[in-house]
Structure 1
């Protein structure tokens, strides 16, 4: 789905509170906003959160969020050079905001309610972009509404499910779709379907990491016609077209 990001993200207090309740966060988080500085440091921060979770398997959300906030205070590169969309992909994707430092209002509410999980979700989005660029031709009909688009959404949700669980993965990907400033109903239907395929992959392969095996499992689903793409303004089944 294409998403237009406003220059200023306006959030109502009620929206933030509703997502905070859903996330069951028992301790208020600080207010380090998601911006280009955080985006530039996202991969490193996500790796440290994963390492912390592995070392502290019983850590609760409040503890994870406190640790995530400490990383935002100490590990964020200050004033990096601006990242243009062209540096991400010559074809605009709906996840470029995770690279450039933009969130839609619903994503921002979730980010403020559960900092650690949100950072992991966005890190998986960045990895999904890279994995798609490695396996699919970078042309409009492939990475927007084509097989590359389906792959990107599925592998993103696959990774999120393994990192934060199926429930939060769905909350985040739903916020990504329903929080879009510009509404494209057919594209949203496609993305929601492909997101669900990725979540199921995560449930069925809980120990798989974002490696070649991880990507292969996702691409097999695309090739097998298990995902949805758009052709002639209609939803059709995916195939192998557009692979490198």
Structure 2
């Protein structure tokens, strides 16, 4: 899987290109990377700009990325926050979205994990900085190494959580995470909802994928979205 970077609006954007055929655009969630979609390694990540982290800005960035790469349409797959971006993309640029796949997507109801709601509070960044330190990450890696040696290898989900935690040690990544989170989540829950516009996706082939015991966003959001999007 090839690693590339392109410059959009003065910022370097990291991406992976692989395969041939119809375009599939994969959008990961907060504190995540392309490793959530492939075991091929970490993304050639660019710097984290101090710009607009709203859903609309992310959707526009995806539009511009497709244009720069010369693609006319894409099947857009969004996980968590990326699901909200994918829905916003389909709403803003329906001519570019061939199909939509939502995986544990945000933007379908207010309910969300209490920890994320707490991190949206003022001052939470100072607390997050105390918990996201290199020394703690080193200790966690040592523990994982010991577990592997005794035959207790981590699960794929556990490894993804570890990668997300490690990314927050970097101050710029941590600031970008908090800006992204606060664009869509407050202490009272998710602030942005696509529910009022889901009927507009009736003619868009849509697949909804969710974990029955998802601890971040409840599976009821999937059921409501399925009921609202005809043919999903």
Same fold (TM over 0.5): no
Q: Which has the higher helix share?
A: 1
Q: Which of the pair has more CA radius of gyration?
A: 2
Could you state the TM-score of these two structures normalised by the residue count of structure 2? Answer: 0.30
Q: Which has the higher strand share?
A: 2
